[in-house]
Amino acid sequence: MQIEELDPTDPAARRAWHDVTERSVRADRPHALTTTFEAFEVLATSPSEHVARTWLQAVVGGEVVGTADLELPLTENTDVAWTEVAVLPGHRRGGVGRALWVAVAERARAAGRRRVGGEVTVDLEAPGPGLDFAAAVGAVEKHHEDHLLADLPVAAAPLDPAYEVVSRRGRCPDEHRAAYLAMRNQMNLDVSSGELELEVAVLDDARLASSEERLMRSYDVRVAAARRRSDGVFGGYSLLFVPHGADYGWQDDTLVMPEHRGHRLGAALKAVNYACLPDDVRLVHTWTAPTNAAMHRTNTALGFRVVERMAEVEVTL
């Protein structure tokens, strides 16, 4: 077995890397949300100024049998690396996963990183080998969230009449950017990450613009924001991604600013976003920490059900 770096300029190699990752992850996780090939193509072919990415592959007899990605944050959290390792079912328990991990750790160390983090998600009905593997390479759990799914349409969630919803697709228009940036940065401060010690990224206009531009190449980006009718102040937003061509969406941030809490704006914003989706989008994924009681209740009331448990784990190098 050989561990190689993917040549990101080779389209067939990119296709094989993505295909093996997809098949390996799906083998144990029927509800997994994976990166679409189109979104992977954007990551692999247009480098980000904030994250350096490398893709590794384990090759046996000329065939790729396992993969790992390595992400090195460049702007904040420069002591951390991120990875995910995946091995095809027919090639497991033979040391492929461990060899990929060793290659990841070597590269992370060489880049001056002190710890490697990753997400290990397991199905609730039939947990696969992910957590045993993580423990075997010395990973410790720092945080966990539930992965939930809802079939559309969801239950109704009326909007408090003191507010109106401003919906958009794609880039945030100039007149709303300052308010949107304030909410995005509040979200980054509020979101719980358990015992994970991470610096919070601060979004400014330029960083928001570059992230919008990259995301729009892979996703239909939908934002619903609540604006108080009396003074025009924005009280919250909800962000949803639909991969191009997919029949599912993926619920990202939902934030209600502190002085606007208690009006059930979170549920109303999500419901508006889902109601505006094309008919062929049938399913929404989301993640919530079980300790975030307010959001967990909001989600289950809308019809979300827990299908997987996602652990954020970390290895100290």
Rank residues 123 and 253 by Cβ distance to ligand COA and give the closer one: 123
**Shortest distance in whole angstroms from residue 88 CB to ligand COA:** 7
Rank residues 120 and 257 by Cβ distance to ligand COA and give the closer one: 120
Rank residues 122 and 277 by Cβ distance to ligand COA and give the closer one: 122
Tell me how far apart the alpha carbons of residues 93 and 263 are, in angstroms, rounded to a whole number: 52
**Shortest distance in whole angstroms from residue 28 CB to ligand COA:** 5
Rank residues 129 and 303 by Cβ distance to ligand COA and give the closer one: 129
Kindly state the tokens that stand for 223: 């934002």
Kindly state the tokens that stand for 130: 């992910």
Site of interaction with ligand COA (CB under 6 A): 24-25, 28, 84-87, 92-98, 118, 120, 128-130, 132-133, 136
Rank residues 87 and 239 by Cβ distance to ligand COA and give the closer one: 87
| Nearest residue (beta carbon) to ligand COA | 97
**Shortest distance in whole angstroms from residue 144 CB to ligand COA:** 14
**Shortest distance in whole angstroms from residue 27 CB to ligand COA:** 7
Rank residues 207 and 309 by Cβ distance to ligand COA and give the closer one: 309
Cβ–Cβ under 8 Å, residues 65 and 87: yes
Tell me how far apart the alpha carbons of residues 97 and 137 are, in angstroms, rounded to a whole number: 10
**Shortest distance in whole angstroms from residue 277 CB to ligand COA:** 29
What order of strands is seen across the sheet that includes strand 140-151? Answer: 2-5, 51-60, 63-73, 80-87, 115-123, 305-316, 140-151, 283-288, 248-256, 234-243, 219-228, 163-169
**Shortest distance in whole angstroms from residue 311 CB to ligand COA:** 9
Cβ neighbours of 46 (radius 10 Å): 11
State the maximum Cα–Cα separation within the chain, in Å, rounded to a whole number. 68
- Residue 234: phi and psi, rounded to 5, are -80, 135
- Residue 36: phi and psi, rounded to 5, are -65, 160
In angstroms and rounded to an integer, the radius of gyration of the C-alpha atoms of the chain is: 20
